[in-house]
Amino acid sequence: MLIYLLFMFSDNLMKQMVAALPKAAYPSINKKDIENFSIPLPPISEQQKMVSEIEKIETQIAELEQILTEIPKQKEFILKKYL
């Protein structure tokens, strides 16, 4: 996702792509052009913040998945108790 966003919103990368486009009727960029692009990355501190946020979200997802697995048991208990 990050690479996609960098390609779509990086002026530097856009300039590299435009420079690599041939001036023919059918402009295209080949694999070799892409391999030679310089992709700007955020500083390591920003990358670490991103990873930290992703890990927090993954922990929340795991907790919610655990809750979801317990719901059928809770439902069955309530149905047995009141029916």
Amino acid (one-letter) located at 27: P
Q: How far apart (Å, rounded) are the C-alpha atoms in residues 25 and 6?
A: 27
* Of 61, 37, 57, residue with least CA distance to 49: 57
Integer CA distances (angstroms), 68 to 18, 55, 61, 75, in order: 49, 20, 10, 11
Segment 44-62 mean pLDDT? 96
Tell me the pLDDT tens digit for each residue of 13-41: 888 888 888 776 677 778 888 888 888 78
pTM of the predicted model, to two decimals? 0.56
